[in-house]
Chains A and B, each alone.
Chain A
Amino acid sequence: QQQVKQSPQSLIVQKGGISIINCAYENTAFDYFPWYQQFPGKGPALLIAIRPDVSEKKEGRFTISFNKSAKQFSLHIMDSQPGDSATYFCAASMSSGGGADGLTFGKGTHLIIQP
């Protein structure tokens, strides 16, 4: 059972455009939703994260939109640049006792920004 579904699998965007990646989750116990960026041969790097008590969070060119009733969240990358070309993963986890459980990842989106 795939608990976090991510789409699209790959995405090509022109430089300066908006990149949009979508995720849907099934487990209503999830309460922490981060997005990670990964370059080939490297570990994932945290981009931005959101909790269900807010519908949107913006940090620089990155925005997370969260729809709790639909159990969906998305990443928007504004003014996309060639350096943004990477694989992006959405993830989800549950808080437990003040800490956190391991992350459940989506399958990833391979993003290419064309100059």
Chain B
Amino acid sequence: GAVVSQHPSRVICKSGTSVKIECRSLDFQATTMFWYRQFPKQSLMLMATSNEGSKATYEQGVEKDKFLINHASLTLSTLTVTSAHPEDSSFYICSAHTGGKETQYFGPGTRLLVL
């Protein structure tokens, strides 16, 4: 149980285009999902908290207009990187947890390369 999937697993796009990444909880309902970014050989940095049915909460320094988050259902959150640039190239990882429990289950990550 507690499986989180992400799609796509990797994406290559041209600079200036937008990319959508999906995060799904497969066998549980996730009231809250989190989006992290990890640069090569570095730690995970929290970008935003996504709550079903409400606006996402962004961490300081993360541009909400660039990284659009939509948590449309209890099993799906999407992260859209708008007008992507090479510096946005990174490993994007989502996590999810059910209400009342602190355990976060992570997805397999999405490797984004912006050319």
Q: List chain A residues, Cβ under 8 A from B67.
A: none
The size bracket of the interface on B is 20 to 34
Contacts of B100 in A (CB 8 A): 98-99
Place the interface of chain A in its size category: 20 to 34
Say yes or no for A12: interface residue by CB 8 A criterion: no
Q: Roughly how many angstroms separate A104 CA and B44 CA in the complex, as a whole number?
A: 8
Q: Does A82 contact B (CB under 8 A)?
A: no
Nearest CB of chain A from residue B56's CB, rounded to whole Å: 11
A101-B49 in contact (CB<8A)? yes
A-B contact count (CB 8 A): 63
Contact B99 A43 (CB under 8 A): no
Interface of A is mostly: strand
Asked whether A95 is an interface residue with its Cβ less than 8 Å from the other chain, the reply is yes
Task: Identify which of residues 69-115 in chain A touch chain B, using a CB-to-CB cut-off of 8 Å.
Answer: 89, 93, 95, 98-108
B65 CB-CB contact with A under 8 Å: no
User: Which residue of A34, A45, A93, A107 contacts B43 across the interface (Cβ within 8 Å)?
Assistant: A107
| A102, B109: Cα distance in complex, Å | 16
A46 touches B105 (CB 8 A): yes
Closest B residue by C-beta to A2 = B43
Contact assessment for B49 and A102 in the assembled complex, using a CB-CB cutoff below 8 Å = yes
A89 touches B102 (CB 8 A): no
In this assembly, does A42 line the interface, its C-beta being within 8 Å of a C-beta of chain B?
yes
Task: State whether B43 touches A105 (Cβ < 8 A).
Answer: yes
4 shortest A-B CB distances, which residue pairs? A100-B102, A102-B46, A43-B106, A105-B43
Pairs across A and B, CB under 8 Å, 26 listed: A34-B104, A36-B106, A41-B109, A41-B111, A42-B108, A42-B109, A43-B106, A43-B109, A45-B106, A46-B103, A46-B105, A49-B102, A89-B43, A89-B44, A93-B102, A98-B99, A99-B97, A100-B97, A100-B102, A102-B36, A102-B46, A103-B34, A103-B104, A104-B46, A105-B44, A108-B43
